[in-house]
């Protein structure tokens, strides 16, 4: 009795295994879904779905094969299927229409699955592919409302982008550049009048570059070197001429001469608002003069020296001028008056 029970159990197990095996080998049809991703296949290529195409990357598949094969394929399709340029997809620069059914049949996922792909929805997708080239562009500096001593510069002065070859050929001259944009916060701690380096500063591509459908900077940061102009500036003028101010009537009574070594004051320093100092620096006619004013008492006493004062043109009242030695040596002599007729 016991042997009969064991035989029954053994026969039952064999029957179940045969049924499972037969079920696994039964050919049937399956409806599956998958995600597609495109791979350029090289770091010198780029690929994308054409802008006018409605393909979302999701496909519906109809397959035929054994239940076991379909189950295994279902598990594999939990990850996206990668279609590579030059392998499943021919590499042709420009737009091309891809037959997804043909491309998927050539993929490793289906070649080794033992399952036949009978239908794909959508069947076709339009893509763009191109070679990538390196484009070196200048870096410009954008500043908030601040004046600098000379134009700011960057280190490095150029950066490189990888960009589709066809787009690089259509860029107008001067349209491709990058901008290093500084903010008020970047400049807040700078010392006016001193050259300083700000880094790192991120750069952004110009609009024509940014519009490229594939764009990668080889470096996205630069250093900006600049000198913020001080609100006040200082300039040293080597020589300033001396002028004598006296009442015209006194010239008939006195002969006034300035000593040879006092006709110019030396190393005169002017200090004031930067724009005014810049105007004086660029236009010699705006420089100060040293004026010695002689009064009646000065002439009568025949003083031998007097300090000069500096006079600048109208509109330059905010500029101060000074020198270590402002004393002017003089020689004053009374003129002989003609004798009155008897």
pLDDT tens, position by position, 281-340? 999 999 999 999 999 999 999 999 999 999 999 999 989 999 999 999 999 999 877 656
The residues spanned by each domain of the chain are 23-122, 132-227, 232-334
pLDDT the model gives residue 189:
84
Distance from first CA to last CA of the chain, Å, rounded? Answer: 183
Q: Which residue has the tokens 């080998």?
A: 25
Summarize the confidence of residues 250-273 as an average pLDDT.
93
pLDDT the model gives residue 147:
83
pLDDT the model gives residue 275:
83
Q: To 5 degrees, how large is the angle CA 118–CA 124–CA 127?
A: 140
**H helix or E strand, kind and range, residue 62:** strand 58-66
pTM metric for this prediction: 0.59
**H helix or E strand, kind and range, residue 309:** strand 309-311
Q: Are 325 and 265 in contact (CB under 8 A)?
A: yes
Q: Which are the contacts of 6, defined by CB distance < 8 A and separation ≥ 6?
A: none
The two domains 132-227 and 232-334 share their CATH topology (first three levels equal)? yes
- Tell me the CATH number for domain 132-227: 2.170.120.40
Q: Are 183 and 144 in contact (CB under 8 A)?
A: yes
Summarize the confidence of residues 95-120 as an average pLDDT.
90
Q: How far apart are CA 105 and CA 61, in angstroms?
A: 12
**Of all residues in the chain, what percent carry a pLDDT higher than 70?**
90
Q: How far apart are CA 33 and CA 55, in angstroms?
A: 14
Domain spanning 232-334: which CATH class is it, in words?
Answer: mainly beta
pLDDT tens, position by position, 129-151? 999 999 999 999 999 888 888 89
């Amino acid at each position: 009795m016991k042997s009969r029970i064991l035989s029954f159990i053994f026969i039952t197990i064999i029957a179940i295994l045969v049924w499972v095996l037969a079920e696994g080998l039964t050919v049937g049809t399956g409806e599956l879904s998958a995600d597609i991703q495109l791979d350029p296949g090289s770091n010198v290529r780029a690929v994308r779905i054409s802008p006018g195409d409605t393909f979302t990357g999701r496909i519906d598949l109809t397959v035929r094969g054994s239940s076991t094969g379909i189950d295994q394929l279902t598990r594999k399709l939990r990850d996206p299927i990668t279609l590579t340029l030059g392998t499943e997809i021919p590499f042709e620069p420009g737009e091309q229409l891809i037959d997804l059914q043909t491309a998927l049949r050539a993929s490793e996922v289906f070649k080794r699955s033992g399952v036949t792909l009978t239908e794909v929805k959508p069947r076709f997708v339009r893509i763009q592919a191109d070679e990538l080239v390196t484009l070196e562009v200048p870096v410009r500096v954008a500043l908030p409302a601040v004046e600098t001593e000379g134009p700011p510069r960057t280190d490095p002065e150029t950066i490189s982008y990888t960009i589709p070859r066809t787009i690089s050929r259509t860029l107008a001259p001067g349209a491709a550049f990058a901008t290093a944009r500084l903010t008020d916060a970047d400049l807040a701690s700078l010392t006016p009048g001193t050259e300083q380096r700000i880094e790192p500063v991120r750069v952004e591509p110009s609009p024509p570059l940014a519009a490229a459908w594939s764009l990668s900077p080889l470096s996205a940061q630069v250093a900006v070197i600049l000198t913020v102009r001080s609100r006040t500036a200082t300039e040293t003028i080597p020589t300033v001429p001396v002028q004598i101010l006296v009442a015209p009537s006194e010239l008939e009574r006195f002969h006034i001469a300035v000593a040879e070594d006092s006709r110019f004051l030396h190393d005169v320093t002017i200090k004031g608002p930067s724009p005014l100092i810049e105007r004086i620096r660029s236009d010699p006619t705006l420089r100060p003069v040293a004026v010695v004013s002689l009064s009646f008492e000065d002439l009568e006493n025949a003083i031998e020296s007097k300090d000069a004062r500096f006079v600048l043109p109208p509109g330059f009242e905010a500029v101060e001028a000074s020198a270590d030695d402002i004393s002017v040596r003089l020689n004053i002599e009374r003129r002989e008056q003609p004798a009155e007729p008897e």
